[in-house]
Structure 1
Amino acid sequence: MQKIATLLLNYQTKNYSHSFFSKIDAISKEIWEDLDCENNRYFNRDFLKSIEKNHSKIQFYYQILFDENNKACAFFSFQIIDFEINNIKNNFEIFIKKVQKIVAKIPFFPSSRPLKILIVGNTFVSGEHGFYIKEHLDKKLVLKEFTKAILQFSNTQNQLKIDAILCKDFKNESLSNTSIFEKFQFKRFSVEPNLVMEINSNWKNFNDYLTALKTKFRVKAKKALQQSSALMMVEITPENCEHQLVKMTELYQKVSSNAGFNLANFNVATYKDLKRAFGENYLLQSYWIDEKMVGFLSGLITNNSLDAHFVGIDYSLNKQHAIYQRMLYDYIKIAIDKNLKIVNFGRTASEIKSSVGAIPQDLTIYFRHKKRITNRILHLFLQRVQPTAFQQKFPFKNTDTI
């Protein structure tokens, strides 16, 4: 049996001391009590441990900041992955090939192997889920001290062979604080927006949502509901999850292979642990036609928000049975029924998500290669990788609905 890692490393900066851990189980109960962060389920031990347990090819690390009284006051989660630049599929593929030809001539650029990227954030979920900072602290100062420590970590842990650091995904209102990264040669660029929908407090059921739509979008919704009427929904539980995992994995991979940008592949077996840990607060249901699974959806309920996670779709039946569109309406219905305030649909498929009422929320990422010249070259590349343009829809009769 592998011995659980204890404290990995300690660093001291001007205002804080920093401890790094390689396992969630190595972080003491006292530290979690000091942080008092687990009401946000993305910083819950069970959530983090479920991800860590089921992704053995990813190296997980956790950084705790302690104040002058040796009380834990901030938590950072990061992972080290192998990333192939070829995994980016979008309108700039021709440009990517040109960049690859250029960097292949640079002897120190790791063209013969994937980039080892240290990701500050959650590799599998869009949003600011990489760090928790207690409310009374100066966030910009904390991020400055964190950056010093993470750079020291990446520079001294030679066995990890880290090539670059990526900090993700920051909303516009956070940029006044996260701009501190740029003082440490991080390059800033935009990624696909988050699609977020506010649930009107006057909606008591799904019919109220339909009534709020303009005629064109209400007709479209009713057509999709009619097309998908043959779908049978089955709630996935820890007890019935096991025998569905093979098909869920197949359907997830169909969606993942169509994505324009993937940092890493998600292990669908994680759902079993998440469902066991969070019960009704982890949404997981499959869609069937006769005896065949044709889709599934997943999501986490936290802080009055339903966050859509991965879905799986049988694309050969998607158009005929409006599977994906039905999933979007089901997310909305569940949020209304549970009196939630927000549905966070995540990235991708921006146009169809905006057609059901979601609006784009810009996200920013910061990237820094350890080698200065390579960092400049990659900055030129990243400037060209812009979010995919889409035609935003405005489906509600009254703009106050949004």
Structure 2
Amino acid sequence: MTRYALLLLVLLLTITGCREEQPEMTAQAPKEPPPLPVDVITVAKENVPIWIEYTGKTEASKRIEVRARVSGRLEAIFFNEGEYVEEGQKLFEIEKDSYEAALKQANAQLARDMATLELARKDVERYRPLVAEDLAPRVTLEQYEAKVAELEAVIEADNATIRTAELNLSYTDVVAPIAGKISRRAVDVGNIVGFGDKTVLTTIVSDDPMYAYFNPTEAQFQIMRKFKVQDQMDARVTIPDNGEGLLVRKPLVGKVDFTDNRIDRMTGTITMRAEVANPEGMLLEGTFVYVEVMVTDQASFLMVPPGVVQDDQQGSYVYVLDETGSAKRVDITRGYESRHYLLVVAGLDGGEQVIASGLARIRPGAKVKPTDVTDEKGVMATLTKAGMVPGKE
């Protein structure tokens, strides 16, 4: 066999071997990936409590400037800065000497005038029978009677002077007009206080209850007016945790107790206020808070958890289960949204099972293995756990 013929034979055998292996390779079909485990929530149109959320700032229900009501040298301070004080608790003492002396002088003047009045009354009693028997002129009796009336008026003035002196002396003990948390002192011992505009010594704030002011837009205010089921709407005040999970606290509950009488022209908002109990002093004045107002639980809406809604260039959408157990994209129209739910205006009719987990891996047509978590993670379940369903706190 020539060398050329040998090479030709090897080439033919190689081609034949490749053809025989070809069917075996094409016979191996690709494996279908297993269904993706996902949580699903069955959505329904139902009476969902509508809570509208705002940002707000807290303000103490009472804020008092403690001022010196009399002048003098500040002699003592009787509180620790930043502590809670009781109504009537002594806070400062102003020098008393001049006010004690003024009270003594007023009492002495009263005693002197009382003695003079007593003498004048005796003169009247002595002259009255003499005048009756024409033994003394009537004009003299009338002069003594006028003197008695004058001295009685002087006595009244003396008593008023004494009351003023007693008040001024009492004002040297500066006491807390309300119970609350006291600020730092504004004046040190040794300073002269109380001249001119009476000196501010410190401030006290009463933080239980606490006010939270917030500003709904005109449109939001009209929604409240249309749907509210009670004059004083329920309110919840929450301190943001900044996403760190360190400041998660139970919301403080109360009522909306104030609505301003006009819309601000510049901002298009109206000022409202929620009053909440703050027994533990959790809220301080000036704290940034979330204010949630419960408008109604008597209107039917279709709500979904906000986390199930996604967005792209085509708009907002959710994934639902179709009849084959696959993921199906459904475009929706968003409505009102809060941290707890999102109103679906169009796109869902109710009864759909919306996919609530694994959304980053879901594609239209993907096979999924659903687990219904409506009772744990549905909108009503979430609101119930948060204490936002009336009668189920």
TM over 0.5: no
The structure with more radius of gyration: 2
Flag the structure with more relative contact order, 1 or 2, with Cα contacts below 8 A and sequence separation at least 6: 2
TM-score range normalised by the length of the shorter chain: under 0.3
Q: TM-score, normalised by structure 1?
A: 0.18
The structure carrying a bigger strand percent of its residues is: 2
